[in-house]
A and B are shown apart, each in its own frame.
Chain A
Amino acid sequence: QSALTQPASVSGSPGQSITISCTGTSSDVGAYDYVSWYQQHPGKAPKLMIYDVSNRPSGVSNRFSGSKSGNTASLTISGLQAEDEADYYCSSYTSSSTYVFGTGTKVTVL
């Protein structure tokens, strides 16, 4: 099971919107609406930001939104803030009844 493909880095200025893509295959992202997104600050455990493609857990800002088209899922952060600077990972359920993470994207707030 290969890792899902994410851009290595994405940057934006405060207040802007950015989108992170997560490309898989018809055996994972394309097959199930079970894509999650996790935020990880340096030295910290990952935090769930989005589950089931587009659902936000309670307590997560509505500036974070998710979507999916075919084999590619996306995470959009609107109104970018300094605190959003972190690594972001997507994850998907797979046809092997396990999970796979994305390669990770470093978000930089300029």
Chain B
Amino acid sequence: QLQLQESGPGLVKPSETLSLTCTVSGGSISNSRYYWGWIRQPPGKGLEWIGSIYYSGSTYYSASLKSRVTISVDTSKNQFSLKLSSVTAADTAVYQCASLYCSAGSCYLDYWGQGTLVTVSS
């Protein structure tokens, strides 16, 4: 069973870059059946898809965040990371990493990290 754990600063200043890392255990990040995703949830609001990455480095970003998002993968550490630039208070949210299981064209999120609250404030 996969386990995912987010890590990174809980407080980021406006206009700076938010950086988070997700460490995967219980399986290999190079498993060909998996993509790796980032999702966020502002306090009291709904889920928002940020983007996903394959172990090869192929990335897929939400159109609304594409200009500010970079997702990368480090297979040697079994980790993948999120960078969100030029943050504002609107980026304050619980950020969660998750595994996206894919088979025969179908994909779904099956394992999630516990989530980490990132607050954007000076």
Contacts and interface: CB of A to CB of B under 8 A. Distances in A.
A3 B39 CA distance: 13
Contact of B108 (A3, A51, A103): A51
Contacts of A96: 60, 63
B46 A34 contact: no
Contacts of A84: none
Q: How large is the interface on B (under 10, 10 to 19, 20 to 34, 35 or more residues)?
A: 20 to 34
A52 B106 contact: yes
Q: How large is the interface on A (under 10, 10 to 19, 20 to 34, 35 or more residues)?
A: 20 to 34
A98 B114 contact: no
A48 interface: yes
A104 B49 contact: no
21 contacts: A3-B46, A3-B48, A34-B107, A36-B108, A36-B109, A45-B113, A45-B114, A48-B108, A48-B109, A57-B110, A89-B47, A91-B49, A93-B107, A97-B60, A98-B49, A98-B51, A100-B49, A101-B39, A101-B47, A103-B46, A104-B47
